[in-house]
Amino acid sequence: MVNVYESSRAAEEAWDDDSTHPKIVARVKYNEDLDQLWDGCNFTSGNVGMHKGIAQLPDGRFVIIIGSQWIGSSPYAYLVTPAEALHEILENRREELLEVFPSLLEIYKEKYIPLSPLLKYLVTGEKEFTKEA
- Write out pLDDT tens, residues 24-45: 999 999 999 998 766 666 666 7
> Strand 76-80 vs strand 2-5: parallel, antiparallel, or unpaired?
parallel
Task: Give me the pLDDT at residue 14, please.
Answer: 60
Closest C-alpha among 44, 78, 50 to residue 64: 78
At 28, the amino acid letter reads V
Q: Is the pLDDT of residue 54 over 90?
A: yes
Each domain of the chain, given as residue ranges in start order, spans: 2-96
* Average pLDDT for the chain: 82
Residues 6+ apart with CB under 8 A from 98: 89, 104, 105, 108
Interval 9-37 mean pLDDT: 78
Decide if pLDDT at 133 tops 60. no
The alpha carbon torsion through 67, 87, 37, 42 (nearest 10 deg) reads 20
